[in-house]
Amino acid sequence: MVVGDVTTSTDVLVIGAGPGGYVAAIRAAQLGLDVTLVEKGAYGGACLNRGCIPSKALLNGSDLASEAGQAEELGIYADPTVALDEMMSWKDGIVDQLTSGIEQLCTAAGVNLLKGTAEFAAENKIRIVHQGEGQGSESLKFDHCIIATGSRPIEIPGFDFDDEPIVSSAGALNFETVPAELVIVGAGYIGMELATVYSRLGSDVSVIETLEQALPGYQEDVASIVRQRAARLGVDFHFGYTADSWAESDGEAVLTAVPADEAAHDSDIELTADKILVAVGRRPVTDTLGIEAAGVETDAQGFIPTDSRCRTNKEHIFAVGDVAGEPMLAHKGSKEGEVAAEVIAGEPAAVDYRALPAAVFTDPEIGTVGLTEHEAANEGITPVTGEFQFQASGRALTANRTEGFVRIVAAKETERVIGAQIVGPEASELIAEIAAMIEMGAKLQDIGSTVHTHPTLSEAVMEAAQNARGKAIHRQN
């Protein structure tokens, strides 16, 4: 038992061991700083434990089951049975392996690990309440602090995650059985990925979205391919509606949705469900930090504004990852964590988001980076684009996955690559090549003149670049 409050000190305090926090801690330790990492839950944060990793495991498992059951065209006849409890156990094993790996990496780097809940006591001091009865607390003085506390799912009025049929994305990744009827509120990337999982596993999935398209923020010709594929999987969409309330009736939940725009829809709708997944976005975890004691400013949504070096309004306090604002991407948080550690160590580091890729792991996948054609024009850049359809790709045909395309955006005058949008098989992997090209200031010719292995999906990237130059071989220019 620890009695009283012990005060120690550290060069760098990192709060939160998600993708931003643990990367920041390891990098700072590599640079010779004394680092303390505080985490109240499992190492890896929401991404590893309740988001990126478990969702991709279920996407892969459900894809295997779905493909095996729909491969008659290939001469394969099967009717797979999915034992969800075993799939969940496999998924949990992956999470456990990775979380323990992060702890080992931190320890090997010399990071001091503390379990507990952190709250600012002053601008250079934090109080940590340790978990477990009788474990007490301690105070920690720091020279620099990196806030990496992540985000949590947004609740909407009347849909409390504590109510039995209502779940967040975390709850949907731990169902004990496949729900016969699943209603998803929100057609963003989280809602669409989980709609993909459970429609493949046999749920009757309905999606409610306030706006008039799935995946708002993505170009219509990109999002529509994903929406159409989801519809073929059996997903029922209700665009232009807002979830208003729910009630229990005959052992089922009945959700009432009202028109977001009465001019577009003239009546309410009711949907029955075994589970209701609310996936309308995430909010930063800054309300439990006592952040006002440190004098750190937040915006109206609770995000912490930062500069290109990840500094807050307090020069010695940094914020990385979801708490620092959109886009909420794990790899963005990791890069910001590296930059913050390097700035603290006196290195000339800064974050450049121009080559920051994003991916949606739906069926088919989406990968984007940089500017769209429209965004380029708005910035005063005359764009040129090149496209290549996967239906003309030999590798896509042999994989029986031909939906979608690669589009590359370049500045017309210089042919410098400034953006790309991919929708199709392995888009999340293919986008990395174009992100690298943007990072290094490459031109269309650099992609087009690079020999790509045949037959691979990456040839579509080469052909799109050549199409922008009027030199594609396997499509008309």
CA–CA separation, 403 vs 268, rounded Å? 34
Q: What gap in Å lies between CA 154 and CA 282, rounded to an integer?
A: 5
Residue 130 appears among annotated catalytic residues: no
CA distances from residue 378 to 222, 367, 381, 383, 401 in whole angstroms, order as listed: 20, 22, 7, 10, 34
Q: CA distances (Å), 73 to each of 91, 395, 477, in order?
A: 30, 17, 32
**Distance linking the first and last C-alpha atoms of the chain:** 74
Do residues 358 and 369 make contact, with C-beta atoms less than 8 angstroms apart?
Answer: yes
Q: 134: which residues sit within 8 A by CB, 6+ positions away?
A: 1, 2
β-strand partners of 151: 284
Q: What are phi and psi of 424, to 5 degrees?
A: 155, -170
The number of beta carbons lying within 10 Å of the beta carbon of residue 324 is 24
Greatest alpha-carbon span in the chain: 76
Q: Residue 246: phi, psi to the nearest 5?
A: -145, 160
- DSSP 8-state symbol, 159: B
Q: How far is CA 250 from CA 206, 271, 277, in A?
A: 20, 14, 20
Q: Which of 144, 238, 265, 454 is catalytic?
A: 454
Q: If residue 237 lies in a helix (H) or strand (E), which one and from where to where?
A: strand 236-239
Backbone angles phi, psi at 41, to 5 degrees: -120, -140
In terms of Cα–Cα distance, which of 24, 27, 16, 12 is closest to 49? 16
How far is residue 377's CA from residue 19's CA, in Å, rounded to a whole number?
34
Question: Counting Cβ atoms within 10 Å, is residue 108 exposed (0-12), middle (13-18) or buried (19+)?
Answer: exposed
Q: Which two tokens stand for residue 186?
A: 């929100």
**Cα separation, 254 vs 299, whole angstroms:** 36
Phi–psi pair at 53, nearest 5 degrees: -70, -55
- Nearest-angstrom CA–CA distance, 448 and 459: 9
DSSP of 438-461, one letter per residue? HHTT-BHHHHHTSPPPSS-TTHHH
**Residue among 262, 316, 421, 387 nearest 10 (CA):** 316
Using the structure block, give the residue that is written with the tokens 């529509």.
224
Please list the active-site residues: 454
